Structure 1
């Protein structure tokens, strides 16, 4: 008999500690019992729902749906759906409902689980407080009962009554644990042996064969030694009287764990209750929000850098153009033709640089909109490259030269001329910009199986080894290039355009020993 009373206390702890709303109703829909979470969910005082009909929890226009749903029975039938509920104050809310038919003491009983679908995120935060409050209430009740001094006749009558209630409570609590909607519950002793465990998640995680009465946590072979130690440590702390709340992960699922100490008939702590609630959905929402915030921050940073770069990069060539134009106006006399031509060449060079910068910003915008698609046409790559180099010569530093070489006199390809022009202009511009006056830039074109290989080598400052992995990133500028004009967009766009045409772009570089860029593109697509 004493064991039955202890079972009642054990399962009452589980019943009271659950963060889900739980009620048991008979065939007529009368509520036999409800837990505090259910009363709180619907806004009722403790015990106020008992002996009421479930109709009071249902909005008028949905009552026929509830009745049809709850009255459908069958062996092992478990159903879950989203429905509407009504609180004591008349307000309605969206909730999840899961029912489990059961036969207890020969009567058909329906156990219903409720949880507010609009408050899933707050659920995990409130669970710890609910567990502590309900567990404390049970402890106080047990304490009062053990201290009561009642007559022998009353004791016998209460004991007989308790035996019957204990059986019913155990059956109901077993159904609750077995169908625990979002996790599982487990009770363990001081030796980390399992006294009781049940819940949907045990089956889903493949842990049901391990969480059996009498087995030890050390017997769970699928757990790592570290996980076993963590569980045993939480048992030890709980048995010392501490309520714990923490999170664990297993098989890509997240669980909020709340523990509470359980007492025996002598009011001595004898076992540890662990309630595992699946919070994977809440975590998914949390991670989505974090990623969205991170993306928003990155976008804001990118916008700031864009504005800063744009203002600086436009200002430099425009200032040079304005200065040269003013100086030309002062060179009207005889014998000053050479100076005028010098200033005109400077204007032309800076207009060319300004055009490259504008093309970078326009290309960036089109790329983000997904508006860039290659339009291939047939042309001779050799003659095209020589013409491009001739146009580029005006932007070179003093005495710099570009040497074009190829074993082919002609090499016809099917590529997008505009995209290729942007790629080569950026690489050639960088080769000149990051090299000294009087240096040579080599531009070699070769045929390789069904592809063409374009290699551009310079004798410039090179790229630091530890920064090479960032080279194709948007707005990236190497630390040895901060004092040299540039947007940090050119190579990012060049890589994107190369890949759009089915090609690849790579490089080799050593600081102070120059850089070689290799662009490999299909001859025909």
Structure 2
């Protein structure tokens, strides 16, 4: 077998497609592998421009590449080892890698193109790309799920912390309640016990003056115990959510005068409650019982924390926009450091000393006022007095609707 026969056998049996063209790009030969790749028989390709086997943009640019190479000898123009999109006879396209070699014969120059089908490689790359995309999507989903889990754990942690904080607060409240109750109940009960013993003694001596004196002490002690129990009962109802305002249309001046007369009876020596009303009307729409409780509580505090021979100012005002109730005293005042805690349950200012009290009254006042969509404000200067103001909107649609 001569060399030409051997070369022909190699080309015919090569796995890759092999195509030869002249300097004008005309196909001179094509091996069986190339024919199978492009779906042609040799006669359909030989004699035609090689660009017939290329899809755009290589189809239009191939002759330019070849011309520039022939005129400038720029080898890279041919595109050694470049990727080309092939065009089959049936119109389908596929990627292949084109390696071009220049062959110089004795009388002319030809170009040999080696066509390596990249379809499987590209399909594998696409599968890898899709798999990577799926993995990336899965990672994103897992990351989102992890973030959601972390958020849920954080929320659970916060809920547990809040629950523990509330439990701690409840424990502190219980501790303060036990401490306060043991003190506040012991004092009036001791007074009752002592006064009862003294009454028995004075009754034997027929001393009506001292008997009357200690009977009044017993009454005051029982009154204090009743007030304490009422505060506890009010707080328990509020905590259980069993307090609902019942709105009625009533005369606030009449109510205030009745409260003033009632409270004047428990004032200290030469303490006087001065009541005044401002406004052309005195009719309001509120829960009368809740409002009465608020007023009595504020006036009781004014009496307790003010000295003898003092005045307590109690004012009401009704305008088209709001109802305003004010209680002003010139008593011991509230220290600045205590003012931010004033409405907390069981809290008592540090300057109250031995003055009796549960520390619940102002908390109840604010909550009762809040149930009627009102607000409680105060101003206080130590040793000069305190002013409490409760205000309600007279245009409160909820109040009007509930009354109607």
- Say yes or no: does 1:490 pair with 2:352: no
Q: Which of 293, 296, 316 pairs up with 2:164?
A: 293
* Partner deviation per Cα, 1:460-513 (whole Å, 9 max, x = no partner): 111112321221122221222254321111011111111222322211111111
C-alpha change, 1:173 and 1:440, in structure 2 (3 Å) is same
Alpha-carbon distance in structure 2 between the residues aligned to 1:384 and 1:340: 35
Task: Determine if contact 1:404/1:442 at 8 Å carries over to the other structure.
Answer: yes
Alpha-carbon distance in structure 2 between the residues aligned to 1:520 and 1:278: 47
Alpha-carbon distance in structure 2 between the residues aligned to 1:422 and 1:402: 17
TM-score w.r.t. the length of structure 1 is 0.47
Match of 2:316 in 1: 445
Secondary structure of residue in 1 paired with 2:351: helix
C-alpha change, 1:283 and 1:354, in structure 2 (3 Å) is same
Shift of 1:384: 2.4
C-alpha change, 1:168 and 1:415, in structure 2 (3 Å) is closer
Alpha-carbon distance in structure 1 between the residues aligned to 2:142 and 2:331: 63
Shift of 1:168: 8.2
Secondary structure of residue in 1 paired with 2:340: helix
Aligned length: 274
Match of 1:349 in 2: 220
Query: Greater CA radius of gyration, 1 or 2?
Result: 2
Matches within 5 A, 1:112-261: 172=131, 175-181=134-140
Alpha-carbon distance in structure 2 between the residues aligned to 1:299 and 1:411: 42
Shift of 1:417: 2.6
- Say yes or no: does 1:302 pair with 2:165: no
Alpha-carbon distance in structure 2 between the residues aligned to 1:522 and 1:414: 10
Shift of 1:389: 2.5
Task: Determine if contact 2:279/2:319 at 8 Å carries over to the other structure.
Answer: no
Question: More helix per residue: 1 or 2?
Answer: 2
Task: Determine if contact 2:311/2:330 at 8 Å carries over to the other structure.
Answer: yes
Task: Determine if contact 1:182/1:278 at 8 Å carries over to the other structure.
Answer: no
- Say yes or no: does 1:313 pair with 2:184: yes
Secondary structure of residue in 2 paired with 1:279: helix
Gaps of at least 5 residues in structure 2 are: 1-123
C-alpha change, 1:419 and 1:439, in structure 2 (3 Å) is same
Shift of 1:362: 0.4
Match of 1:213 in 2: none
Shift of 1:178: 3.4
Task: Determine if contact 2:280/2:318 at 8 Å carries over to the other structure.
Answer: no
Task: Determine if contact 1:353/1:395 at 8 Å carries over to the other structure.
Answer: no
Shift of 1:326: 2.0
Shift of 1:407: 4.8
Alpha-carbon distance in structure 2 between the residues aligned to 1:497 and 1:393: 24
Secondary structure of residue in 2 paired with 1:390: helix
Gaps of at least 5 residues in structure 1 are: 1-164, 185-199, 202-253, 256-276
Q: Which of 297, 304, 329 pairs up with 1:426?
A: 297
Alpha-carbon distance in structure 2 between the residues aligned to 1:176 and 1:407: 77
Alpha-carbon distance in structure 1 between the residues aligned to 2:160 and 2:258: 52
Match of 2:258 in 1: 387
Alpha-carbon distance in structure 1 between the residues aligned to 2:230 and 2:303: 18
* Partner deviation per Cα, 1:17-68 (whole Å, 9 max, x = no partner): xxxxxxxxxxxxxxxxxxxxxxxxxxxxxxxxxxxxxxxxxxxxxxxxxxxx
Match of 1:476 in 2: 347
Match of 1:8 in 2: none
C-alpha change, 1:388 and 1:338, in structure 2 (3 Å) is farther
User: Which of 1 and 2 has higher RCO (CA within 8 Å, sep 6+)?
Assistant: 2
Matches within 5 A, 1:274-285: 279-285=150-156
Task: Determine if contact 1:324/1:347 at 8 Å carries over to the other structure.
Answer: yes
Give the CA RMSD over aligned residues. 3.1
Match of 1:327 in 2: 198
Alpha-carbon distance in structure 2 between the residues aligned to 1:175 and 1:302: 57
Alpha-carbon distance in structure 2 between the residues aligned to 1:321 and 1:394: 20
